[in-house]
A and B are shown apart, each in its own frame.
Chain A
């Protein structure tokens, strides 16, 4: 067992904020699924199961996606910088653990947190599958995609944590990356799409390129495609079939790998 992972588990499980976060993580989907259920009632007060299932599934899936997107990088962003702040870094590096082993231990800790948070909301996703409305595989596929996005974001934030000496800097950098990736890029992409499609030289290739550059790697993009397909809607934005979510997942994996390499690189730096 990775010693750092062992230590991380010992420390984290004693933290009160972990349980506060868990409570928040359960309360939010509960609230949103409850509201979705209320919204599913038709005007005559009749609850149509398929409609209710779809509403609850959407609520659970996107609530989970949002929470994981926010909390996974937050939980990972201080893992290496904190060692520097609490002055344990020199003793940690003065050990036979290689930088890769240290990064692995830290990453495992961050991933366990993400998986644990994800597991807390699994009952909501399962309940949504039971209601019907969407194909039963859709909530579970989205659950898996949400977890993957969370894991990728954790790895990216860990990489940033390795580059900074202060946790606050690592948090700010992670927030900036999150903002850029989740909000700024889609906004720029939307504007670009508007300009290109309104112009005389709009082609399918240019539309595809814009989607690849700005949208398809978004932490929610594969889930959007999956829920659209699951609800029988026609996916009109790119006609690449299953390659759309695969492109997104591929981009996440590349980012996760980059994050890990950044963390290792940060750990190879000298200890001043």
Chain B
């Protein structure tokens, strides 16, 4: 997918241009991917297992060296340079690994030392991270004694300490129960509110739908097109059915409504208890409603059909529009 598929924002924080990655076993996991992520944005990375999401996140963090393309944060080219990327990017990989034989305080102190943060500056950052993540009571507990959810909070704490402007979260809610998942996603929402830019990959689509500002669907190393020439979509577009703007009229008899709507060219389709059609705008939808009533139909319900992320992803993947 070329640059034409990227959303052109004035100053993206993260810019991927034509990134390609082939593994030594010959599998091309990422095929010429471009992406711009704007400052303060939460970008949701969606796709089936093996789509290339984790590979893409590792490419962003410099852990993998691409065959082609560049990864930039601001003006800095960080392609394949994890040490340079670490100053701008915090990565929570999947599966998550934390040092378990130390206390939470020592774990965070270690990463602070690695980044040259010490003394009063470390204490201030530690207090701030503990406050945001609710880690205060657990700071002196052994990491091993923490549940999976708290270990993930701790990993987020590592990134919070360091003020990295860009956070890459690979399946942050994997393996967590409903409560821990909701709490963790609340934290991510809070981080976004604090101005951090987040790229998050998740299979838990309902939560991601609420969390992310913009989405991209990956399949077989490509962005899936949601419309001709369009790879990314925001929450508003998602709610509107990604340009489909489907509306439903529950009415009887449906045949009269169907005939009336055919004249308006809104692609009406008969359903069990009425008609579904596409309208580009609310006034056009209202015109359709009027036409149905004038055609003598009894209308009992009229609403826009909001599309869920899961539904959209499934539909697009089944449609095989990856390129």
Contact = CB atoms under 8 A, between A and B. Distances in A.
A11 B85 CA distance: 27
A70 interface: no
Interface stretch (A34-42, A95-103, A225-233): A95-103
Nearest to B111: A95
B141 to A, nearest CB: 14
A271 B58 contact: yes
Interface string A1-44: 10110110011001100000000000000000000000000000
B83 A97 contact: yes
B97 A95 contact: no
Where chain B touches its partner, the secondary structure class is: loop
Interface string B62-91: 111100000000000000001101110111
Interface in B92-108: 93, 95-102, 106
A88 B115 CA distance: 16
A90 B91 contact: yes
B2 to A, nearest CB: 26
B116 A272 contact: no
Interface size class of A (residues with CB under 8 A): 20 to 34
B158 interface: yes
A88 B143 CA distance: 13
Interface string B18-31: 00000100000000
Given A91-B158, A94-B91, A272-B23, A86 B64 contact: no
B115 A95 contact: yes
B20 to A, nearest CB: 14
B110 A3 contact: yes
A201 interface: no
29 contacts: A1-B113, A3-B113, A7-B99, A7-B106, A7-B110, A10-B101, A11-B99, A11-B102, A15-B101, A86-B99, A86-B100, A87-B93, A87-B96, A88-B97, A90-B61, A91-B91, A91-B111, A91-B158, A93-B82, A94-B62, A94-B63, A94-B89, A95-B82, A95-B83, A96-B83, A96-B86, A96-B114, A271-B58, A271-B63
Contacts of A4: 114
B126 interface: no
- Max chain B Cβ within 10 angstroms of own Cβ: one of A1, A15, A89, A91: A91
Contacts of B99: 7, 11, 86, 88
A2 to B, nearest CB: 9
Interface in A67-119: 86-91, 93-98
Given A94-B85, A96-B116, A10 B91 contact: no
A75 to B, nearest CB: 16
B95 to A, nearest CB: 5
A270 interface: yes
Contacts of A94: 61-63, 82, 85-86, 89-91, 93
Nearest to A1: B113
Nearest to A85: B97
A11 B101 contact: yes
A211 B62 CA distance: 48
- Max chain A Cβ within 10 angstroms of own Cβ: one of B64, B86, B114: B114
B155 interface: yes
B42 to A, nearest CB: 20
A230 B98 CA distance: 52
Interface size class of B (residues with CB under 8 A): 20 to 34
A167 to B, nearest CB: 14
Contacts of B93: 87, 90-91, 94
Nearest to A11: B101
A6 B85 contact: no
B98 to A, nearest CB: 7
Contact of A3 (B63, B90, B114): B114
A94 B106 CA distance: 18
Nearest to B61: A94
Contacts of A14: 101
Contacts of B91: 90-91, 94
Given A11-B101, A97-B83, 14 more contacts: A3-B110, A3-B113, A7-B106, A11-B102, A86-B97, A86-B100, A88-B98, A88-B99, A89-B97, A91-B158, A94-B82, A94-B89, A95-B86, A96-B87
A97 B112 CA distance: 12
A143 to B, nearest CB: 32
Contacts of A272: 23, 58, 64
A91 B106 contact: no
B65 to A, nearest CB: 6
B63 A90 contact: yes
B119 to A, nearest CB: 13
A10 B83 CA distance: 24
B97 A87 contact: yes
A127 to B, nearest CB: 36
A62 B115 CA distance: 44
A1 B158 CA distance: 19
A246 B83 CA distance: 39
- Max chain B Cβ within 10 angstroms of own Cβ: one of A93, A94, A272: A94
Interface in B266-299: none
Contacts of B61: 90, 94
